[in-house]
Amino acid sequence: MKTVSANGATIPALGFGTFRMPGADVLRMVPHVLDLGYRHIDTAQIYGNETEVGDAIAASGVDRGDIFLTTKVWVENYRRPAFLRSVDDSLTKLRTDRVDLLLLHWPNEAVPLAEQIGALNEVHAAGKALHIGVSNFNTALMAEAIRLSDAPLVTNQVEYHPYIDQSAVLAAARAAGLSVTGYYAMADGKVLADPVLNEIAGNHGKTVAQVVLNWLVGQDGVIALSKTVGEERAKANMEIFDFALTEDETRAVHALARPDGRLVSPGGLAPAWD
């Protein structure tokens, strides 16, 4: 498995995400993907499946120390006392004494960013999170979070697929030594019928999903989260490291970005995007 290095963290470049995944599917799929060779599992407090993720990892037979486990603190828990309690609760559900990466899930202007970053650092200093980072931050918020943090931030997890231009976030992250973790790689399924992507897939004897994931992890400092409740699709999503897109193909995928390409921008949470 390819890895990405970012401010002291070594992160598997392909992760398995559990967003909107019911507990029964988590219990079925997480041991399966770990058996396939995935070593990066992503969840969050708001997903409501941390308990099943913890149970699935424990049942998998894979040593916890070999798994890069990420969770995210929900915005309603950003005040320091609630933050610290929520992390302890997450660790209990995940059946572990620490996560490998703890993220702020979305911006929340109701709580000073200094308080959020302070609590994140407190958890890190206590050894309950080996690494820390943010999610859904624009470049201005990312810069402020970096300034406020004693410990280095290692990623900004954002929506990233062929229809969204994340060059500004990528440039800012790279300049500060952070990785970018891309979610919603399949653009809610929209990529699958794209003629450009289908032509590239045909060139390599691969699926569109494999092309998109390859395009993501082929970029400097980019990690891709894949998600599926199908065993065969999970296996296919792992088979992305045995081919390389040409420079022309890579440019063609980037050229699919459009102003209205963003799909995830919830009111009351989303910042002013770059």
Mean pLDDT (whole number) for 4-29: 98
Q: Is 252:196 a contact under the CB 8 Å cutoff?
A: yes
SS3 264: coil
Place of tokens 């390409």: 261
Distances (CA, A) of 245 to 5, 26, 54, 178: 22, 32, 36, 24
Q: How far apart are CA 237 and CA 231, in angstroms?
A: 10
What is the band of 1 on the pLDDT scale with cuts at 50, 70, 90? Answer: confident
**Identity of the residue numbered 252:** A
Q: Give the tokens for residue 256.
A: 């699919």
* Angle made by CA atoms 32, 34, 37, in degrees to the nearest 5: 115
Q: Is 39:66 a contact under the CB 8 Å cutoff?
A: yes
At the fourth CATH level, the homologous superfamily of domain 9-185+220-228 is: NADP-dependent oxidoreductase domain (3.20.20.100)
Name the DSSP class of 190. Answer: G
Distances (CA, A) of 232 to 26, 238, 267: 15, 10, 36
User: Does 254 show up as a binding residue in the annotation?
Assistant: no
What is the band of 167 on the pLDDT scale with cuts at 50, 70, 90? Answer: very high
What is the CA 130 to chain-centroid distance, rounded?
16
Q: Is 106:122 a contact under the CB 8 Å cutoff?
A: no
The 10s digit of each residue's pLDDT in 121-152 is 999 999 999 999 999 999 999 999 999 999 99
What is the CA 51 to chain-centroid distance, rounded?
19
Q: How far apart are CA 14 and CA 226, in angstroms?
A: 7
Q: What residue segments make up the domains of the chain, in order of their start?
A: 9-185+220-228
What is the CA 74 to chain-centroid distance, rounded?
15
Name the DSSP class of 88. Answer: H
Question: What percent of the chain is modeled with pLDDT above 90?
Answer: 100
Question: What percent of the chain is modeled with pLDDT above 70?
Answer: 100
SS3 179: strand
Mean pLDDT (whole number) for 256-269: 97
Q: How far apart are CA 122 and CA 110, in angstroms?
A: 20
Residue 214 in this model has a pLDDT that exceeds 90 = yes
Task: Determine the pLDDT at residue 211.
Answer: 98
Task: Determine the pLDDT at residue 42.
Answer: 98
- Within 10 angstroms of residue 114's Cβ, the number of other Cβ atoms is 13
Residue 112 in this model has a pLDDT that exceeds 90 = yes
Mean pLDDT of the residues in the chain = 98
- How many C-alpha atoms does 74 have within 13 Å on its Cβ side? 13
Task: Determine the pLDDT at residue 229.
Answer: 97
Q: Give the tokens for residue 173.
A: 């992250």
Task: Determine the pLDDT at residue 139.
Answer: 98
- Within 10 angstroms of residue 188's Cβ, the number of other Cβ atoms is 10
Mean pLDDT (whole number) for 62-70: 98
Q: How far apart are CA 108 and CA 150, in angstroms?
A: 20
Name the DSSP class of 128. Answer: S
Annotated active-site positions, please?
Answer: 47
Task: Determine the pLDDT at residue 138.
Answer: 98
